[in-house]
Amino acid sequence: MNLIEQARQQVSFDVDSVTPLLYGSKEQADHIKQFLEKCKNIPEVQTSPDYYNWNRGKQFLSKGDQALAFQKLLDFKLDEIPLYLGTILYSATTNYYGVYFGMVLPALKVLGTDEQINAWYKDCLNLKIAGCYAQTELAHGSDVQSLQTTATYDERRDEFIIHTPSIDAVKFWPGELGFLANWALVYAKLIVNNKSHGVQAFMVPIRDLNTHKPLPGIEVGDIGPKIGYTNKDNGFLRFTNCRIPRFNMLAKYIKVTRDGQVIRQGDPKVSYSAMMIMRKLIITVYPRTAATSLTIAIRYSIARQQFTNDQGQENSVLEYQTQQHKLFPLLANLYSIIFTGLKVGQLVDLNFNQVQKGDFSLMAICHAIICGTKANFTYFVSNCAEWCRLSCGGHGYAHYSGLPAIYQDNCPNITLEGENQIMYLQLARFLLKIYNQAKSSSKKINETYFGLFNRLQSISDYKCTSFTREQILLLLESNVIHSIQYTNDKMMTHINNGQDPKSVWDYKVGTDLWNSANNFIEYYKYISFLQTIDSTDNINTKKVLRDLADLFAASILLDGSSTLIENGVINVESIKLIREFYTLQLSIIKPEAIGLVEAFRYNDASLRTTIGCSDGQPYEKIYHSAVNDNSLNKYDFKPIINQLKNIKARL
């Protein structure tokens, strides 16, 4: 019995009881497990072990057969986003048309009229129309209202003229634009009778449907290599007075009549509900790649032995507290993120359905929470991949470990679909708003998501004289309220001293706003964790998950205790007790760690690793990969060696 098998025998809970919690239901868990099992037997969906020796063109083209095979597995249900979880987990890199299905189709369904949906949607699903989401420009990304591309209405010809007025306004970064797209959903400033009516969405053909060549007035291509996303064709797009029919402006909520009247109907914020669908994908699907990182790192840390103990036997690396300190807080954080992501996903779906019916009551709440979770979760996934790589020593540095690719292909998510600092600032704005509402009004704040703001006074008065685990939630609540209170008071002091509110926001309290938003999300993750624990009846599972949740909370409190200390909520003695509690939780989680990562039920083929496979035999696989899977070993290097031998050193 090897070390991995021995470790599995130490697990105290039923691993199968956790799996449905991680996927939201037993049905979804079974679907993912079955999907991954099917994938491992289909040659077209495998990523070659030699993939990272290839040039980018070959890498990109290799994904064509894989994309088609995935679509067959999904029975061509191309607009059902939840089904994409399996494809993202199994593919070593990003898939074709991910942004298209995640953003363009939802935007068309939300912003288009019934007539427009009937005209385009079927062709979109069949990829006859393959679109990209052309919003970001060279000079503007998160600042959507400052986009410079124009859509000027020509009443004489009943057309819009799409134009790029400067280099700054070139569309830059949209995925699927470089090679794949033949249409673009273009966000441009609507101009009618020389008056701007804000940024609106337009369906614009950019390549010929038969030849795939750029249409007249279109300059388009791929932007080049990036740190990751090697097979994602992020592109550039420049328009020179390109004409489209008036019909091509998505007109469910704003339309231009034949005679040039601009008519608004409904809430202009509705367009944001489409972007929420993509952010939902980012916060519910991509964090699961962190489970890949941790499965690899924890298995390898059990199988890897270094240095001897008192009995002269080599220790598993995971026996060392320093290795536990690297990996177990990440594992605890992952669980908090997975459980929170499922809840936020339900909120996004509910909001999306309500918006379709004209009900915007959840829009602000959904916007605030998805901004904060997007920022928090995407940073975590990249950070987790890097720490897992570091925990695996030299082997973690090699692509055969599977870890570098996870980092490379997830770090762009920190910036795309809302740069993380901007996302935190948007959550902070909402938190300050409801904080001031709670202070000045008897009206209750939404209890489901922001209930702690209904208890401002009791939370502000709370003091922790001696730490016990029962006080964790109270401490996290205090951390949120005191950080927001401090930020609000600091802002008002500057404003009351005559400074411009916008200048105060931009230049005086930015880091305080970031801290307030982050503290709230960490608290929100913990209560989501507790709510998920309450949903299971298995006693052993409850205990292990509560230990993991409290490890997560203890790590948060130790990392961010300054606010609590500054406000007299906690004393030095309690900090020491939290630190002792934290190290105790590391030892409690150690025998459970293998079960907690294997609850995700990823098979070896989906992990794409030589060092973290289920059989616990990394060295055989590492050697086999080096000998058999590295095409460079088949090259004839004799000519260059002979050339180097002719170098005459100057003595």
**Catalytic site positions:** 417
DSSP 8-state class, residue 307: E
Tokens 């997007």 appear where?
A: 374
CA 274 to chain centre: 16
In angstroms, the CA 327 to CA 444 distance is 40
- Beta-bridged to residue 191, according to DSSP, are 152, 196
How buried is residue 461: exposed, middle or buried, by Cβ count under 10 Å (0-12/13-18/19+)? exposed
Number of helices (H), then strands (E), in the chain:
27, 13
Q: 160 and 153 in contact (C-beta within 8 Å)?
A: yes
**Pairing mode of beta strands 242-245, 235-239:** unpaired
Determine how many CB atoms are found less than 10 A away from the CB of residue 636. Answer: 7
Query: How far is the C-alpha of 326 from the C-alpha of 387, rounded, in Å?
Result: 7
- Taking the C-alpha atoms of residue 600 and residue 609, their distance in angstroms, rounded to an integer, is 16
- Would you say 590 and 324 are in contact if contact means Cβ atoms under 8 Å apart? yes
Asked if 185 and 133 count as a contact pair (C-beta separation under 8 A), the reply is: yes
Q: Measured in whole angstroms, how far is the alpha carbon of residue 473 from the centre of its chain?
A: 26
Distances in Å between the alpha carbon of 285 and those of 94, 260, 502, 583?
Answer: 12, 44, 36, 31
Sheet holding 235-239, edge to edge: 171-172, 235-239, 218-222
CB atoms within 10 A of CB 389: 22
Paired tokens of 371: 């901004």
Round to whole Å and give the CA distance between 440 and 437.
5
Phi, psi of 426 (to 5 degrees): -70, -40
* 164-169, Cβ contacts within 8 angstroms, sequence gap of 24 or more: 164/238, 164/239, 164/240, 167/138, 168/137, 168/138, 168/139, 168/140, 169/137, 169/138, 169/139
**With contact defined as beta carbons under 8 Å apart, do 152 and 259 qualify?**
no
CA dist., res. 528 & res. 539, Å (int): 19
Yes or no: say if 432 and 486 are a contact pair by the CB < 8 Å rule: no
- Dist. CA 578–CA 598, nearest whole Å: 29
- C-alpha 388/C-alpha 401 separation (Å) is 10
Using left for φ > 0, alpha for ψ between -120 and 50, and beta otherwise, residue 435 falls in alpha
Q: What is the largest CA-CA distance in the chain?
A: 91
- Other beta carbons within 10 Å of 545: 25
Interaxial angle between packed helices 15-23 and 321-356, expressed in degrees from 0 to 180 and rounded to the nearest 10: 40
What's the helix, strand, coil split of the chain in %, to 5?
Answer: 60, 10, 30
Cβ atoms within 10 Å of 66's Cβ, excluding its own = 24
CA 491 to chain centre: 31
